[in-house]
Chains A and B, each alone.
Chain A
Amino acid sequence: MSFGFQIFDAGGVLRFDSTDVTWNQVTFYSVAADSSDSRDVPQIGGKTVAVGQIMIDPPLETRKALAHTINISGTNISVSDGSEDVYIIVLVKGS
């Protein structure tokens, strides 16, 4: 490559360079069952956003396990209406 950057490991193997694509993590947090969360995350402005929702407890077949509803409006992320404890991971990609 004639421009950009390359990152090599200690063995001289190329591990990452400016031709690669990635998702970067902005934040992660937990939202409790039957509660809601709304927060402003300025770093997501103008970027492609992926919000991952991970259930903390293993599945239970004895009750209704509703995932939370996630809404993104501008730089605000709201999480609500779920019956389970979850982790929320916010990833971004773009310029």
Chain B
Amino acid sequence: MSFGLTARNDANEVIISSELKNLHFIQKLTSPSSSASQTTGFGGRWIHTYTVTNCPTIPVPFFHMGANNDVGITSVKDQGNSTWDIEVLTDNNTPTLYVFADATAVQSDQGHGMIVYNADGSAAFDSRARPLAINNTITTAAPSSPISSFSPGGLDGKYCASNGNSTHSSGFTPDTYNNYGAALPSKPMFFYFSLAQCEREATYTASEEECDGVDAYGNCAGAKRNYFWSSTYWAFYRATLSYPDAANVRVQYTTYDFDCHWYQQTDGSFVGIGTGGSSSSDGAWPYSNETLNVASNIVIIGDAARYD
């Protein structure tokens, strides 16, 4: 560089530079602005929206949660007027968000300190806000499937009658994970955006015959109707992060949504000659039965206690 400022750490890494932008602590959000879809079924689910205000640039959220709690950021959306909504998928817990952003988002009335500017005049570093310091960085990948042995049983084929019940839940609860060794501080916070997603589905059918004529040795002589039902139960998952202990982080899936789609058909006949039929269907239909976006994903780990 021919001008400006560079500060390096003991490892000779640049930590302040007028050619880069430091991330600074902007807000701590201990509670969401809204929450939805809470359940203890399907391994647990609670989807929160946290709102970041007075942030003219993109917020970089870290989250802290208790051990063995699953958390993943699934959406960051600009709502205008320097306001951002951050959607967080959990397995029924409420994490704390530590929001960082570049120095243009620093709001301080302190009259002293040091500000480093980029060549374009925007602030690159502002000592009035706490800069992001990290403990560790690891690269992770989500499992290829959310469930190690997918074979749900006991679901009703008629009209999705088992939708959302304990049988549906137990058959679709995610149970796979990948562990990664990482030394964690006593109060870790994580930068992790959920990308991997998958859907699993299972179709159950039922059929019945209704005879208006005479049952002759198991065969209907006369008018009869045949009923057929099909119900496709499904669950949709997104990757989340957790830590089972102070030496590991874990990537697994958390249920984002579940539902069922049913189809019913009736065929009538009289002495073997078709007399017409009808059909109907209802419910939500999932997009496909596959896993997407399992490519490597970075996790940055910091110490949340520095920003309390």
Contact = CB atoms under 8 A, between A and B. Distances in A.
B131 A55 contact: no
Interface in A6-38: 7, 9-10, 15-16, 18-26, 28
Contact of A21 (B11, B21, B288): B11
A21 B134 contact: yes
Nearest to A20: B133
A91 B78 CA distance: 20
A52 B295 CA distance: 12
A contact residues, range: 35 or more
Given A59-B238, A64-B288, A16 B14 contact: no
Contact of A19 (B10, B21, B102, B285): B10
B28 interface: no
Interface stretch (B192-200, B213-221, B267-275): B192-200
A52 B298 contact: yes
Contacts of A5: 7
A23 B134 CA distance: 8
B292 A65 contact: yes
Q: Is the interface of B mostly helix, strand, loop or mixed?
A: strand
A23 B9 contact: no
B13 interface: yes
A24 B22 contact: yes
Interface residues of B, number: 57
A16 B135 CA distance: 13
A65 B11 CA distance: 40
Given A9-B130, A54-B193, A62 B287 contact: yes
A76 interface: no
A77 interface: no
A54 to B, nearest CB: 5
B298 A54 contact: no
Q: Is the interface of A mostly helix, strand, loop or mixed?
A: loop
B58 A89 contact: yes
A69 to B, nearest CB: 8
A49 to B, nearest CB: 10
Contact of A26 (B11, B21, B58, B112): B21
B197 A24 contact: no
Nearest to B136: A21
A28 B58 contact: yes
Contact of A61 (B21, B132, B287): B287
A72 interface: no
B162 interface: no
Interface centre among A5, A9, A16, A18, by most chain B C-beta atoms within 10 angstroms, is: A16
25 contacts: A7-B114, A15-B306, A16-B133, A20-B133, A21-B11, A21-B135, A24-B14, A24-B20, A24-B22, A25-B60, A25-B102, A26-B20, A28-B57, A43-B20, A54-B73, A56-B76, A57-B77, A58-B74, A59-B74, A60-B287, A61-B199, A61-B256, A61-B284, A64-B292, A66-B292
The 6 A-B residue pairs with the shortest CB-CB distance, nearest first, are: A24-B20, A61-B236, A20-B133, A67-B293, A25-B21, A58-B75
